[in-house]
Amino acid sequence: MVSRGAAGDSLCHHARVCCILAILAFFGPRLALFLAWVFTPTYLSRAFDTFLIPFLGFVFLPWTTIAYAIAQNELGGLNGIGLLVVILGVLADVGVLGGGARQRRG
C-alpha cells in the first residue's frame, strides 16, 4: 500500500470536489429544464413557440434556455433586466464549456 501523505490526500480531495462540481454544472440545468417540462409544461411553451428550440437549448445551452424562459415568463421579455438575465445565462454556458476545455488542456 502506497502512502501519499497530506499533500497527496489534499490533491485527491480537490480532484473529487472539482469532479462533483463539474457534474452538477453539466446536469443541474438540464435536470431543472426536465422538471419544468414535466411539472409545468406551459412554462416553457409560453416562452418558446416550437419544441425544437427548447430541445436544442436543453442539449447545447441549458443555462441560456432557462434564462430565456425566465425572462419571457417573469420579466416581460428581452428588455432591461430580462436581457441581462439572458446574457448571464449565455455567460454561464460559455463558462461551463470553457472550463471543461481548460481542464482538458491543463
pLDDT tens for residues 29-79?
Answer: 998 899 888 988 898 899 999 989 999 999 999 999 999 999 999 999 999
Q: Quick one: DSSP state of residue 61?
A: -
With a cut of 70, say whether residue 98 has pLDDT above it: no
State the pLDDT at residue 1: 47
pLDDT score, position 103: 56
3-state secondary structure 33-71: HHHHHHHCHHHHHHHCCCCHHHHHHHHHCHHHHHHHHHH
What is the amino acid identity at position 68?
Y
Q: Tell me the C-alpha distance between 79 and 103, whole Å.
A: 35
Nearest residue to 67 via CA among 75, 59, 40, 26: 75
What gap in Å lies between CA 31 and CA 53, rounded to an integer? 17
* Residue 72 · residue 82 · CB < 8 Å: yes
- How high does pLDDT run on average in the chain? 81
With a pLDDT cut of 90, the percent of the chain lying above it is: 42
Determine what percent of the chain falls in helix, strand and coil, rounding each to the nearest 5.
85, 0, 15
